[in-house]
Amino acid sequence: MPLLKRSVFLFVLFLWGTTLNAQRAFPAQNSALYVITDKTIYTPGEVIWFSGYFLPQEGLADSLNPNVMAVALIRQDTTGYTINQNYFMRKHFCPGSLTLPAALQPGNYELVAALNLLDSSGRPRFSFRKRISVKTVEQPPFLLTFRIEDSLAATNTIQIAMQALKSEGVLIDPRNAAISYHRPGEKPKTQKLDLTGRARLVIPTDGADTTLPVLYTTTTVNGQSRSFTVWLPVQRSFTNKELLPAKKDIPRDKSATITLPNPLCGDTLEATITTSHPQKLLLASQNLYSATAERSAPVLIPASKKIALPLKDLTRGIHTLLLLNEHGIVLDQKQFFAHYSDRHQLSVQTGRNQFGTREKITLTISLKNLQGKPARALLTVTCVNTNRLEKNDRLLFPAYYYTQLLDEPYKTEAIYTNSRLLSQMLQQPVNTDHRPFSTDGLYRPQMATSIVFARNGKQIKKKLAVYIRSDTTGRFTATDNSGRFYPSAADLTVPEGSPFFVKAGNITKRGKVTFDIPYAVAITNPMQRSMTYLEQPELPLFHKDPANQTSSKQILNDPYEVKMMQMVTVQSKFFSLTADDTRRNNCGDYVCLNNILNCPAHLDDVNNTLPVKGKYYLTRAGGNNIIYQGCTENTPARINTPRSFTGMNENRLQNKEVPHYLSTLYWAPLLQVSGKITLEFYSSDLPGRYKIIAEGLAENGDILREEKEITIDDKQP
């Protein structure tokens, strides 16, 4: 049975006809992509474990099923990506791991994800964003505070009072202290700090770029510098019209109206239709994520009529009920939440709530449908330290999926969990500023390739063999007569962080492959151009007090929390294709102990060295000398799969002399649950409170989430 059943709205009424005609109707929200991460607060060098869910309401042809999800990280005070990687998506699900650079600057980031389904302009049709915080435990030489002052007079300036203090709270030495500051695209200005480490900055607002309403600052004290970005109280402007406030559609013709006494309903929707004069009317319903509407036959309404609409065949979530005249003109429309209280029962149990360090934790997850019978689902399960989760303004999978059209993403939790607020939001004018789901113009970009001579960059126009090496496995393919080949996304998959290279060779008359001529292979990133549409931050900032901003928010000041984070910070480094790792250059060339270039008998030998441009090497044993002409850089695009999550494995448990401090104890990106499943994992040496979170997709399309909190105590026996 398909995971998501297309909504069918059957009006079984004595008054309304039962024949419905599916027709294109009004636009619906375009985003059916959601990405779960193991936590929301990270430190440089850690791994972001994630799982992407693509939930299209309409069916897609095989040629349009996405197989690549691009995942990028962008600082909210800049444009341009810090990291940008591609991941393999299969059957609408994409597990992955993204390793943060050890030198990543602390700050507020956005995790951006997009699928390789593009519209006619090359823009990703489905994308997703969430806030990620990167913090550090390193204590800086001084702290910075910025206070945006209120002005009684209307001026064209913003006045900011700033101060630099030592981390211990004492005054700095002001003799060599200054601050440099500038708006985006402007020339920096420099101002000295006074005896107390203070300065007053006057920032003109006229003519400034408000795409990013920020002030970049660098404060220097005795040769030590600290950078900090101040967010200014300037109305942010968007060049992208899709980021503007959504339009609300209010029909002009009000000769007939619909009244819903309660938009939060179960399996029946009660409504009253009122018309100013007798006329033929019809109803249509539309799902939140669908562009198709189901219509009833026209029926004459003399004045007013109460109706009860059965919702048995509607999926759970927000739908729009439209009232139209016989000419198809919309007279009124109202939103309602079908099956609001009808949801699957997801249970997460651990037997007890407190555990010791390095102790086995047995987790039981069970799922029942509305009839109390075992149900099936695909879930993402994690157990993470609560210090690594934002406590306010969270993104929750069900809230985001069901109510994102009603307000901005980080307000959906408050709306979804408050029935009174949700009811009020549904009674507002319907949001129609969203493109309909349509496959018209959609396409999946193909991997483009080219092969050139590494010595001079000249294009190859003949059939070659291509060797693709990913991690520890390799495979051969062949080009066409023009030197091009078209790999699938699956052909380029490799565990994130593992070695990957592509090498081309000649095919002899006997069908053998030789690598005696250095070629450079280029495989373009299919998402490189399309991701440029999304490289501007869009999410609202999380500021408890925007008038007072401080660099202390980028570090952890609580002594207990700092101690924990210092223990937790584990530097994860990439495997890189260097001489230390594979003894090959970026073209895959190497020299064996016998001075043979690319000797097939010593492939990946630990004694291999890198060839040097201009030096003589043998082509084979007893062969001729050649002068190595160097290497034109290979640029093979790679499609990542997740690296393996280990947690507290057997090796770590047995080694009791070395402490292991893990903030994420368990991570299962795609877990199949059929009624009930039992999992086991171990706590680490890090004490504290942890949350076990299970969220995902039930077989009937219901979005699930359940969490449980446990405590790890290092004093437990």
pLDDT at 504: 87
Q: Which of 14-18, 22-26, 640-644 has the highest mean pLDDT?
A: 640-644
Q: What mean pLDDT do residues 477-487 have?
A: 86
Beta strands in 339-459 (DSSP E): 345-349, 354-356, 360-368, 376-385, 430-431, 449-453
Average confidence (pLDDT) over 162-168? 86
Pairing of strands 500-507, 676-682: unpaired
Q: Are strands 465-470 and 703-713 parallel, antiparallel or unpaired?
A: unpaired
Q: Of all residues in the chain, what percent carry a pLDDT higher than 70? A: 80
Please state, in angstroms and rounded to a whole number, the distance separating the CA atoms of residues 44 and 109: 12
**CB-based contact 466:503 (threshold 8 Å):** yes
Determine the average pLDDT of the residues in 657-668: 93
What phi and psi values does residue 667 have, to the nearest 5 degrees? -150, 120
Residue 386 main-chain phi, psi, to 5 deg:
-65, -20
3-state secondary structure 188-209: CEEEECCCCCEEEEEEECCCCC
Residue 59 or 164, more confident: 164
pLDDT band at 27 (very low <50, low <70, confident <90, very high): very low
Q: Is 421 in a helix, a strand, or coil? A: helix
pLDDT (mean) for 165-193: 87
Which residue, 351, 370, 371, 369, is CA-closest to 361? Answer: 351
- Please give the full DSSP string across 255-278, using - where no structure is assigned: SEEEE-S-SB-SSEEEEEEEESS-
Collect all residues with Cβ–Cβ distance below 8 Å to 133 and sequence separation of at least 6: 40, 41, 42, 107, 108, 109, 390
pLDDT at position 544, please? 60
The stretch 492-511 carries a mean pLDDT of 87
Mean pLDDT of 50-69: 88
Q: Tell me, what's the pLDDT at 353? A: 96
Confidence of residue 614 (pLDDT cuts 50, 70, 90): low
pLDDT band at residue 12 using 50, 70 and 90 as cut-offs = very low
Nearest C-alpha neighbor of 50 from the set 382, 373, 360, 350: 382
| The Cα angle at residue 696 between residues 693 and 697, in degrees rounded to 5 | 155
Q: What is the pLDDT of residue 656?
A: 86
- Dump pLDDT digits (tens) for 232-289: 887 665 444 444 444 455 555 678 999 999 999 999 999 999 999 999 999 988 876 6
Is 297 within 8 Å of 19 (Cβ atoms)?
yes
Residues near 79 by Cβ (< 8 Å), separated by ≥ 6? 211, 212, 535, 536, 537
C-alpha separations of 330 from 276, 322, 570 in Å: 15, 7, 59
**Cβ neighbours for 415, distance < 8 A, ≥ 6 positions apart:** 399, 403, 406, 407, 421, 422, 425
What is the model's pLDDT at position 594?
A: 80
Residues forming a β-bridge with 640: 87, 494
CB 51 within 8 A of CB 32: no
Residue pair 192/247 in contact by the 8 Å Cβ criterion = no
Average pLDDT over residues 556-561: 47
Asked whether the beta carbons of 493 and 642 are under 8 A apart, the reply is no
Number of alpha carbons in the 13 Å side-chain half-sphere of residue 195: 0
Residue 693 has pLDDT above 90, yes or no: yes
Choose between 363 and 316: higher pLDDT: 363
Q: Indicate if the pLDDT at residue 571 is higher than 50.
A: no
Q: What is the mean pLDDT of residues 677-689?
A: 95
* pLDDT of res. 470: 82
pLDDT of residue 586: 57
pLDDT, average across residues 551-562: 59
Distance CA 197, CA 162 (A): 8
What confidence tens digit (pLDDT) does each residue in 88-114 have?
999 999 999 999 988 888 889 999 999
Residue 568 has pLDDT above 90, yes or no: no
| 55-59, 225-229, 278-282, 520-524, range with greatest mean pLDDT | 278-282
| Strand 33-37 versus strand 47-54 pairing type | antiparallel
For residue 514, give Cα distances in angstroms to 337, 509, 599, 620: 65, 11, 10, 11
Q: Backbone phi, then psi, for 651, in 5-degree steps?
A: -60, -40
Sorting pLDDT into bands at 50, 70 and 90, what band is 393? Answer: confident
Nearest to 33 by CA among 10, 13, 52, 6: 52
Under the banding of pLDDT at 50, 70 and 90, the label for residue 25 is: very low
Weakest mean pLDDT among 338-342, 559-563, 679-683: 559-563
* The Cα angle at residue 273 between residues 251 and 264, in degrees rounded to 5: 85
Q: Does residue 615 carry a pLDDT above 50?
A: yes
* The total number of residues written for the chain in this structure: 717
Helix (H, G, I), strand (E, B), or coil: what is residue 305? strand
- Give the residue with greater pLDDT, 503 vs 452: 503
- Residue 517's pLDDT is what? 80
**Half-sphere exposure of residue 573, counting CA atoms within 13 Å on the CB side?**
4
CB burial class (10 A; 0-12, 13-18, 19+) of residue 647?
middle
Between 467-481, 579-593, 694-708, the lowest mean confidence (pLDDT) is in: 579-593
Hey, which residues does 83 pair with through a beta bridge? 73
Query: 90 and 54 in contact (C-beta within 8 Å)?
Result: no
Question: What's residue 23's pLDDT?
Answer: 30
* Residue 454 confidence (pLDDT): 60
- In this predicted structure, what is the pLDDT of residue 151? 60
**210: pLDDT confidence band, cut at 50, 70 and 90?**
low
Surface-to-core class of residue 327, CB atoms within 10 Å of its CB (0-12 exposed, 13-18 middle, 19+ buried) = exposed
- Type and span of the H or E element at 400: helix 397-403
| Mean pLDDT, range 378-386, rounded to an integer | 97
- The domain segmentation of the chain, as residue ranges, is 449-523+574-641
What's the mean pLDDT in 25-48?
77
